[in-house]
Amino acid sequence: MANILEVDDLSMHYITKSSTVRAVEKVTFSIAEGETFGLVGESGCGKSTTARSLVRLLPEVGKIVGGSVRYKGQELTTMSDREIRGLRGKEIGMIFQDPMTSLNPVTTVRKQFFESLKREGLSKKEMEERAIELLRLVGIPEPANRMGNYVHEMSGGMRQRVMIAIALASQPRLLLADEPTTALDVTIQDQIICLLNDLREKLGMSILLVTHDLGVVNEMCHHVGVMYAGRIVEIADTRNLLHHPKHPYTVGLINSLPAENDTRARLEPIHGAPPNLAHEIVGCAFAPRCPFADELCRTKAPNMQTLVGGHRVRCHHADPYDRTRVTDQDRDFAEELIASGSEQGVNADKDAADALTPDITPKKKGGVA
Amino acid sequence: MAEETNAPKAAAQGEPLLEVTDLCKSFPLKYGVLDAVMRKERKHLTAVDHVSFSLNAGETLGLVGESGCGKSTLARTVINLYNPTGGKVVFAGVDFSQLSKHELRNSCKDIQMIFQDPYSSLNPRMTVRQVLREELLHHNMCTKAEVDERIIELLELVGLSEDQADRLPSAFSGGQRQRIGIARALAVQPKLIIADEPVSALDVSIQAQIINLLCDLQEKLGLSILFISHDLRVVRYISDRVAVMYLGAMVETAPTDTLYTAPAHPYTKVLLAAAPSMEENKVDDKKAAVLGELPSPINLPSGCRFHPRCPYADELCRTESPELRCLAQTPEGPHMCACHHPLV
């Protein structure tokens, strides 16, 4: 599969007179065609900023200071404003956490659709038909009656669907979804997850999902990157990442959640708090909170290294065994991987990973609710 | 430690600490002059509809449900922040409806709340020491001479250090603020803590710290906790029993393991199925995705309030509202469910 998006060493800093906040530091990842890639992390780790940096939706003080973003081979970081505006909302669609702030409260759903469809050069009648078709696609009942509604007349789940429908109006190839379900209740969240999975399959688009919820990641993503302090600390396919995490931070995140099978095991929180990104970080960004940190970690920043099975991790002490709550079955799996994986080259591992773990495709869920 | 005297004594063995019977709370909707002229019916929003539950000493009851189902209103009605429209709250053998305002305030001291957003519930211009001092002195929890000592004790109890006492809330992170909120709640040595979404605004790593803290405090001080959350995973971890609310009514209560492994109400089942999971095998078996959205609490559906979204609804459900009845008695408590066709 070809990569629709390739991000290489992307750095984005907020530069003001008094300080420089290194919000995104040397982020590298790629999204294959038709794939969902997840960016997870806690608040302030730079996951949303990374998504926005890709299409340069940044405030004045936000500067891309290095690296490249290639969308279908086109370099986005050096593109003119005019050109990138042509991509945004057209080839690259966007949906955000709070539909109330990203939809226009003073115009009807119809007008907002037309705004997006106008660029396609359709007649009014065609636009109306198209919009109704899209609303039906995202599972809104009686779509024709909804066209004249204002946003405030709809419920949260409905608004989120309208926003997704508008984002899909221009048939994007890549959808940037920034916490699309965070503000919703679980039953509605479930419906939106099903919907996005379904649409991705039907329309063959790629999704960059930004979320803090590892459960949502499990149900949507093929590959995941974990971010901490503006850096990606670990990238792997979803199953490997969730069940065989290698970076101490990922392990900590997973151990902070109550386990689903062993509900009484005591939670193991990560101690301390994330670093202030306005200060330069020496050594590994996670070292002050890491139980495995030593002198090396405190002085030298680790590079991204590739482990068996295509697992990439930014840690000096990433060992092939797990430090998480493992079952015997998991351990067998890990040993099997190591036995069959031997030493892999730095980048020639992706196919090998696919071959080793053939069942990594994300959970297919029921049809659109 | 002074807190140890705090262990529940009023509630005798087997007697529930808090007993809520048929509690109702409805809010009148705006009724304008025009509505009166048109002789329109006065409308009410029923936020809490005949809810009954009990909470034993030292127990944690989890209360789950989607936003707008009345969880927070229920909590506020229990401690009389809202006047109940009907029903009865008996706490440690005292019926709240029989008390005068002054007596009520004294009794309510034994129930303390922790809120979701500690920042908006702390005065931004008061240091932690001032917040705690005010609380301690107002309720005559200790003499002026002891107050500093007591403040330090409280801060250590929630994992903060003494030198943080003179800072303003803005100097603390979200998790630390939640610790301050907990310290403030503990200052008056309550018997019951009502925690309204205490960890929802926190990142998972911090969330785990606060949950551990609550568990430790409960063990140390013998507290009862009413834990309100929409996060099913956290509720499962912390609760002994769980109650599920839907549109203002209690639809199911059961011991935690029973509820999570064998839910009886169709709503509980879809709620559990909808929660995103990290399990590998929670795959292809077509999920019981619930259809539609929460109806308006102003015009409640006829019969069972879940019937428009329920896959098992029949004629009976559409006409007759099911009562909360006991399905089974377990050592940890009864399994109650309000459904005509319970799944177990």
- Mapping DSSP onto H, E and C, the string for A167-182 reads HHCCCCCEEEEECCCC
DSSP 8-class letter at B3:
G
Longest dimension (CA), chain B: 69
Residue A272: CB atoms within 10 A of its CB come to: 13
Question: Is residue A44 scored above 60 in pLDDT?
Answer: yes
For A215, the closest of B209, B256, B275 (CB atoms) is B275
- A364 CB near a chain B CB, below 8 Å? yes
How far does B101 lie from chain A, in Å, by closest CA?
37
Sheet arrangement for strand B94-95 = B44-55, B18-28, B86-91, B94-95
Answer for the pair A247, A263: CB distance below 8 angstroms, yes or no: no
Contact A155 B293 (CB under 8 A): yes
- A330 CB near a chain B CB, below 8 Å? no
How far does A189 lie from chain B, in Å, by closest CA?
8
DSSP string, B27-94: EEPP--HHHHHTTPPP-EEEEEEEEEEEE-TT-EEEEE--TTSSHHHHHHHHTTSS--SEEEEEETTE
For A366, the closest of B212, B233, B289 (CB atoms) is B289
Contact B277 A218 (CB under 8 A): yes
DSSP string, B129-184: HHHHHHHHHHTT-S-TTTHHHHHHHHHHHTT--GGGTTS-GGGS-HHHHHHHHHHH
- At residue A311, the 3 state secondary structure works out as coil
Mutate to test the interface with B, among A184, A226, A256 (most CBs of B within 10 A): A256
What's residue A243's pLDDT? 87
Answer for the pair B254, B40: CB distance below 8 angstroms, yes or no: no
- At residue A92, the 3 state secondary structure works out as strand
Nearest CA in chain B to A156: B293
Answer for the pair B77, B108: CB distance below 8 angstroms, yes or no: no
More confident residue, A287 or B344: A287
ipTM above 0.90, yes or no: no
Contact B277 A43 (CB under 8 A): no
DSSP string, A264-284: TSPP-PPPS-PPPTTSPPPS-
Question: What value, to the nearest 5°, has the Cα angle with vertex A12 and ends A8 and A18?
Answer: 155
Mutate to test the interface with A, among B64, B69, B176, B205 (most CBs of A within 10 A): B205
Answer for the pair B189, B160: CB distance below 8 angstroms, yes or no: no
For residue A106, give the amino acid letter: V
Residue of A135, A80, A85 whose CA lies nearest to A110: A135
Q: Is A66 exposed, middle or buried (0-12, 13-18, 19+ CB in 10 A)?
A: middle
How far does A222 lie from chain B, in Å, by closest CA?
13
Question: Each residue of A168-219: pLDDT tens digit?
Answer: 888 899 999 999 988 788 888 888 898 899 889 988 999 999 999 999 999 9
Report residue A352 as tokens: 């090998």
How far apart CA A27 and CA B249 sit, in angstroms, is 49
A window 281-310, beta carbon within 8 A of B? none
What's residue A24's pLDDT? 94
Q: Give me the mean pLDDT over the A263-279 stretch.
A: 82
What's residue B7's pLDDT? 40
Question: Is residue A365 scored above 60 in pLDDT?
Answer: no
Residues of chain B with pLDDT under 70: 1-14, 280-291
Identify all chain B residues contacting A157, using CB atoms and an 8 Å cutoff.
293
Contact A363 B283 (CB under 8 A): yes
What's residue A349's pLDDT? 40
Residue of B97, B50, B96 whose CA lies nearest to B323: B50
Q: Which residues in B have their CB inside 8 Å of a CB on A?
A: 66-67, 173, 175, 203-209, 211-212, 230, 232-234, 236-237, 256-257, 260, 270-271, 273-280, 282-284, 286-287, 289-291, 293-294
How far apart CA B181 and CA B116 sit, in angstroms, is 10
Contact A194 B230 (CB under 8 A): no
How far apart CA A207 and CA A176 sit, in angstroms, is 6
DSSP 8-class letter at A108:
B
Answer for the pair A233, A286: CB distance below 8 angstroms, yes or no: yes
Residue of A24, A32, A6, A28 whose CA lies nearest to A221: A32
Report which secondary-structure segment, H or E, holds A357.
none
> Regarding the domain with residue range B16-110+224-277+286-344, which homologous superfamily does it belong to in the CATH classification?
P-loop containing nucleotide triphosphate hydrolases (3.40.50.300)
Handedness of CA A281, A282, A286, A290 (dihedral sign): negative
Identify all chain A residues contacting B284, using CB atoms and an 8 Å cutoff.
363-364
Contact A363 B211 (CB under 8 A): no
What's residue A33's pLDDT? 93
Q: Is A202 exposed, middle or buried (0-12, 13-18, 19+ CB in 10 A)?
A: exposed
Identify all chain A residues contacting B277, using CB atoms and an 8 Å cutoff.
215, 218-219, 260
Contact B276 A43 (CB under 8 A): no
Residue of B222, B231, B227 whose CA lies nearest to B239: B227
Helix axes A156-168, A124-137, angle to 10 degrees: 130
How far does A166 lie from chain B, in Å, by closest CA?
21
How far apart CA A265 and CA A263 sit, in angstroms, is 6
Contact B270 A242 (CB under 8 A): no
Identify all chain B residues contacting A243, using CB atoms and an 8 Å cutoff.
280
Nearest CA in chain B to A141: B292
CB pairs < 8 Å spanning A and B: 118
pLDDT band at A244 (very low <50, low <70, confident <90, very high): confident
Residue the block writes with tokens 């549109």: B247
Q: What are phi and psi of A178, to 5 degrees?
A: -100, 105
Contact B205 A194 (CB under 8 A): no
User: How many residues in chain B?
Assistant: 344
Which domains, and CATH codes, for chain A?
28-60+81-91+177-369 (3.40.50.300), 98-169 (no CATH)
Sheet arrangement for strand A36-40 = A92-95, A174-178, A206-211, A36-40, A223-228, A231-237, A312-313, A305-306
What's residue B340's pLDDT? 93
A window 8-67, beta carbon within 8 A of B? 42-43
Nearest CA in chain A to B216: A266
- A369 CB near a chain B CB, below 8 Å? yes
What's residue A1's pLDDT? 64
How far apart CA B231 and CA B248 sit, in angstroms, is 18
Question: Each residue of A291-338: pLDDT tens digit?
Answer: 888 899 999 999 988 887 788 999 988 765 544 444 455 556 656 666
Residue the block writes with tokens 């697992």: A311
For A256, the closest of B204, B276, B287 (CB atoms) is B204
Residue A6: CB atoms within 10 A of its CB come to: 17
What's residue B288's pLDDT? 47
Identify all chain A residues contacting B287, using CB atoms and an 8 Å cutoff.
190, 194, 365-366
Contact B230 A243 (CB under 8 A): no
What's residue B206's pLDDT? 86
Identify all chain A residues contacting B205, using CB atoms and an 8 Å cutoff.
42, 252-253, 256, 269-270
Q: How far is CA A111 from the centre of its chain?
A: 30
Residue the block writes with tokens 């969880």: B71
Identify all chain B residues contacting A263, using CB atoms and an 8 Å cutoff.
236-237, 256-257, 260
Mutate to test the interface with B, among A42, A155, A190 (most CBs of B within 10 A): A190
Question: pLDDT > 90: what percent of chain A?
Answer: 43
